[in-house]
Amino acid sequence: MRVITGSARGRKLEQLSGDDVRPTTDRVKEAVFSIIQFDIEGRRFLDLFAGSGQMGIEALSRGAAEAVFVDNRRESIEIVKKNLASVKLVGGKVIQSDSISFLNTNRGTFDFMFLDPPYGTGLLQSALSKAEKSMNKTGLIICEYPIGEELPEKLNDFVRYRNYKYGKIGITTYCHSEFAD
């Protein structure tokens, strides 16, 4: 697993091992960042369910001002810290917390929120129900999930904007209804 482009391009990232680990593939990561490539510079990015932190690190490498990494597993938090140190990027903030607790207590707002929880657990839907209050009005929520998993059409003022399919993986984005067309 490597950083695809930007200031840390080509840098290798560590990841956890085990059957419950499922890092985002390079194909899907490239797709996500092609969606937001012209809007990432100087923005705030939330990598909820961070795992190795590869998505937030990619955002920092591409010019994001800040990436916040949230994961409830101590092992994941340690890997994120190692990866941030190895790529020598500034603007990373690492928080050990469960996703719902973080979203319930978060006071800041983000321009991008990437959600890729363990599949089939209901965590994606739970996090989506809380996500909007942590978003800037012009922000974009990005979800990775297995094809066939149901996602809501609407999250209060945020609505499903675009759907993409990459093999067995789906990517859905949500934006404020004012900006959906």
Q: Match 């979800």 to its residue by tokens.
A: 143
Query: Residue 130 in contact with residue 104, Cβ under 8 Å?
Result: yes
Alpha helices in the chain (DSSP H): 26-36, 54-61, 74-87, 99-105, 123-131
pLDDT per position as a tens digit, 72-103: 999 999 999 999 999 999 999 999 999 999 99
The pTM (predicted TM-score) of the whole model is 0.93
pLDDT per position as a tens digit, 102-141: 999 999 999 999 999 988 889 999 999 999 999 999 999 9
Structural domains in the chain plus CATH codes = 26-179 (3.40.50.150)
If you count them, how many residues does the chain have? 181
* CA 172 to the chain's CA centroid: 12
- Crossing angle of the two packed helices 26-36 and 54-61, in degrees rounded to 10: 40
CA 74/CA 96 separation, integer angstroms: 7
CA 14/CA 178 separation, integer angstroms: 40
